Each structure stands twice: as structure tokens, then as C-alpha cells.
Structure 1
Amino acid sequence: MLDKIGKSAMYLVILAFSAFCTLPFILVLSSSLTSEDSIMQFGYNLIPRDLDISAYRVLFADMSRILNGYKISIIVTVVGTVLSLLITSLLAYPISLKRVRFRRQLNVFTLITILISGGIVPWYIVCVRYLHLQDSIWALIIPLLCQAWNVFLLRNFFQNIPEEISESAKIDGAGEYRIFFQIVAPLSKPALATVGLFISLMYWNDWWLGLMLLNKVELQPLQLLLRTIQSNVEFLANSEMGAEIIRMTGGRMPAEGLKMATCIITIGPIVFVYPFIQRYFIKGIMIGAVKG
């Protein structure tokens, strides 16, 4: 009887905590559907006082650009996640093996990239002059391909896999690549799924690379496009286009609602990814963080 009461209390606490975690999302959604005058007068509320979709009308005024931004962001996120996960794991696996020569030096070299940065100017020169990434979709992918934090997270997970497994596979004639792709990788699904989520979030939310390396509007990812819209709200309010927007919305420029609406638009696709990998997530992050 006491066990049932304890479990029921635990479930109620978890349910209450889950409901509490959804409040910010509900607040953002409600604010995006509230008129600008109501937000200025009453502030943000969980239930819209004055229902208004002006912010979404402004965002979708140029629907083709929004859809193109979605397309670029999806391509960059999918391609970048696959390539980054492949490169990261192929670096993390060798430095996790005791039999690999210079593994300590490789670990130190990887660690240095976290502690010391080359600076923005050298980074920009390398990307533009040597890698020729300017005004290319690869400018949104290549600079983020390998992150040291993800390398160490996977390395720590790989260290938990007994080397006897790979040694027995070697006796049967398997090479290193076959061992990794057919034995190690399937055993590492929790860690790979966890790191894959981190990488996909990084690519999906990135706007800085586009700002630095892209001049072509048609290559702008969704995040950069929406950031540009937000940054130009005050400018638009005093321009002819702003007057047209105000006429279209029937009131003042929905500056605050526009900020909330951009959050709702950008959060959708990445939220749908999480349910597919949540069963791996906790196990992967815990096991990968055990060893140092």
C-alpha cells in the first residue's frame, strides 16, 4: 500500500514538473497570437486577451522566402548531422583505444581546440581564401563538422566497450573499418543518437555562419532570415514597407508578437526529432559522461 502511494506521489510530482516545463512554450505561443496593444498594456499572458494573428501575417507576407529558408535549414541540418557524426566518431574511436600510437597526443591536440581559439579573422581568411566557402551552402556545414566536446563524449562511450570484442573480430579477419561499422557503431546507438541530437540542434539553430559567409539571400537559412526580420522591425516601422504592414495588420507594428512567432516557427521541426531518439538519449549521455 505504501509503495503504491509512493509511486502515485512520484508520478504526480513528475506530471506537475512536466506541466511546469510546458508553461514557457504555452506563454510564447499565446504571446504570438496576442495583439501588440494588448501586450503593451497587460504584458504576456498564458491565454491571449486579444486574439490576433498579425505577427504571422507579417512573417508569411513573403512565403516563398520562408519556405526557401526552411529548405536550406533542413538540407544543412540533415547533411551536416550525418557528416559531422561520421567524422566525429571516426576521430573519437581511435583515441579511445589503448593500442593506438600517439593517442595521448591526439587527445591533447583535440583538447587544445576547446581551450584556445585562433580568432575570427584567421578563421574567416581560412574559410574564404583557402576553403572558398563564401556564398556556398557548404559554408553552413563544413566549419561545424567536428566539435571537440562531441569527440570526447563519444570517446568516453567507446572506452566502455571491451577491446576484447574488436580483438576477437580481428582474429576472424575483420579490418578496423569493418569492426567499427559492424560492431562498435551498432553497440553505440545511445551515444550516437545523443551526439546526433546535439549536432542537429547546433546546425538548426545556427545563423552566425550565414551572417559571416553568405551574401546570397537565396542561401540564407531560416534562423538568419528570421533574425534579419527581427533586427529590421524598428527600421520597417518607419519605412514605406512598414506603413504597408501596419495597414495590413490594422494597427501598430507587431514587434513583440513577431519575436514570439519566430520562436514558434523555428522550434517545430526540431521538436519532432526528439521523440525518435529519446529512448537513447538518457542512456547515451550518462554512459558517455562516466569516464574522463
Structure 2
Amino acid sequence: MKHYSTADKLVVGFAYVYMLVFVIVAIIPFMTIISTSLTNEQYIRANGFDLFPHDLSLAAYKFVLGRGSTILNAYRVTVIVTVVGTLISMVLTTMMAFALSRKEWRMAGPISFLVYFTMLFNGGLVPWYIVTTKYLHLYDQLLALMLPYAVNAFNLLIMRSFISTVDNGIFEAAKIDGANDAQLLVRIALPLILPGLATICLFYAISYWNDWWLGLMLVSDRDLYPLQMVIRSITSNISYAASNAANSSIAAAAIPKEGVKMATTVLTIGPIILLYPFLQRYFVKGLTLGSVKG
């Protein structure tokens, strides 16, 4: 049985205390958000925010969800963009990363450098907007919320690192058996880099889910507004909520303004928090695996 020295026990104890403090500090803001979203607006105005709800009220959630059309339609748009966009990004990123990981391909190095170069320099906002709207015609359509983020250079280079960890001898053996490049990717590489796939998939999903900038730049049709765009409108200008009071059972003067802000935040981050536990074991392993090779 292994015995630990006093110094080792102190280090381990300090690590546990540090993690406990870190968890508490991280969870306090989230608890405050949930508490405020469930607290009566009058209590908030009189006493401020608290860790636990007081004078329990669902008025904020009724206001946000009661009208149905705005938030629920934005949810529908964001779910479609996140699912379809993540799928497109994963397919394109995986295929390109596999090509760049092949050492026998002469252009792998130069193209990898060009990909990296885009992380340092870009053409600027105006040229990007002109190309996106005038030449690609990505305006006021769902594809405008997906294609500009289809391939992320950082995620691409990480995926290339994941694939590079696979022993090249496995690919050579498969080639001898008659496998082509598509089979090497689908049957050999992908099953061996599942942690990496889960990690990049989560990166892309969070990016699509949290994005409001593309909606601001490329969408004018309110029916195509993503969730974050609607949330931004509400939280940045609470008069947006007041202007819709006529369609709500809550009088304009009684709109739970602080509660609405917190309720929309809970509705926004909830799905991602629920998704993370299912990908956690792959996510942690994927981060470690991707750091082995560059």
C-alpha cells in the first residue's frame, strides 16, 4: 500500500480546496441568475439580487414565453442553425483536416500555412460584407447564419492534430488492402478520433448557438432572427419588452424587467448546459489528445 508524505497530503488537500472554491465562485453567478428570474420584481427593486428566490414568481417566464412567436420562433431558427451548421462544419472540417494531415501530399504544408495565416490577418469587415452579400447572396436566409462559420481555422488545425495522432502504419496497411482515401477517413480515422470529433463538435455547436453577430449583419427579416439576436434586443433595450406588453397579459407598468433579462439568459444557456454532460468524457480526453501533436 502506497504511503503519502505530509507534503503530498498538503498538496492534494490544497488542490481540493482550490477546486471547491473555484466551483463555488463559478456557480454563484448562475444561481443568482436563476434566483432573479424566479423572484418577484418588486422584491428585486426593493432588496436587489439574492442567491435564493424570494416571493416566488413565474411572471418573467410567462412574459418571455407567453407570446410564443418571438422567442419560440427564435429558438426554432437557432436550433436549425446549430444542428445543420454544426453538421456542415464537421463534414468540411474533418475532410480538410484529413487531407492536411497526409504527409505524402506536397501541398499539405503550404495550405496549412494559409489556414494559419487567416488567423492572423483578414480582409476586413467591408470586403467580407460585400463578398458575402453581393457575390454569395447570403442575405436574409438561413444559410447566411451558417456558411460564414462553416470552417473555423483554429478548429481545423486542432482536428488535423487529432488525425495526426493516428499511426500512419494503420493507413498504409489499409491502403495495401485496397482502401481509398474516403474509406481511410470514414473507416479508419474517424473511429480512432471520437474524442476529437466530440470536442470540435462542441466548439462548433456553442459557436453557432451563441452567435448574434451574423444575425445583426446579414438578417433583416425578424422571422429569421436567431435566439441570441432576440435576447440581445431584449437585454440591451428593455423598452423592447415594454413595447410588446400589449400582446401580454402583464401590464406595461408591471413588466418584470430584471426578471426578463435573467429568464432569457436561463433559456439561452440551458440547452448547452444540458448537452455538455453527454460530451464531457470525450471533451476532456479530446483536449488532452489534441495537445500531443501539432
* Contact 2:165–2:292, Cα closer than 8 Å, also in 1: no
Tell me the equivalent position of 1:257: 259
**1:179-229 C-alpha deviation (Å, 9 max, x unpaired):** 011000110100010010000000011111111111222111111122222
Between the two proteins, the alignment pairs up a number of residues equal to: 288
**Deviation larger for 47-56 or 137-146:** 47-56
- 1:244 and 1:184 mapped to 2: Cα distance? 54
TM-score normalized by structure 1? 0.89
| 1:159 equivalent in alignment to 2:161 | no
**Deviation larger for 165-174 or 41-50:** 41-50
1:271 pairs, out of 264, 270, 273, with 273
Could you tell me the percent identity over the aligned residues?
43
| Residue type of the alignment partner of 1:86 | V
Tell me the equivalent position of 1:88: 93
**Deviation larger for 90-99 or 194-203:** 90-99
Deviation at 1:52, TM superposition (A): 2.8
Partner of 2:52, secondary structure, is coil
* Contact 1:54–1:249, Cα closer than 8 Å, also in 2: no
**1:70-116 C-alpha deviation (Å, 9 max, x unpaired):** 11111111111111011111111222222111222111100111111
| 1:70 equivalent in alignment to 2:75 | yes
**Deviation larger for 49-58 or 207-216:** 49-58
1:175 pairs, out of 177, 180, 204, with 180
**1:22-45 C-alpha deviation (Å, 9 max, x unpaired):** 322211100112233332332211
- 1:133 and 1:37 mapped to 2: Cα distance? 45
Within 5 Å, which residues of 2 pair with 1:48-197?
48-197=53-202
Partner of 1:248, secondary structure, is coil
Tell me the equivalent position of 2:206: 201
Partner of 1:279, secondary structure, is helix
- 1:224 and 1:253 mapped to 2: Cα distance? 21
Deviation at 1:159, TM superposition (A): 1.6
Deviation at 1:289, TM superposition (A): 2.0
- 1:277 and 1:231 mapped to 2: Cα distance? 32
**Unmatched 5+ stretches in structure 1:** none
- 2:218 and 2:49 mapped to 1: Cα distance? 37
Partner of 1:133, secondary structure, is coil
- 1:104 and 1:51 mapped to 2: Cα distance? 60
* Contact 1:57–1:249, Cα closer than 8 Å, also in 2: no
| Residue type of the alignment partner of 2:261 | K
TM-score normalized by structure 2? 0.88
Deviation at 1:11, TM superposition (A): 6.7
- 2:181 and 2:247 mapped to 1: Cα distance? 63
1:42 pairs, out of 47, 63, 67, with 47
| Residue type of the alignment partner of 1:172 | D
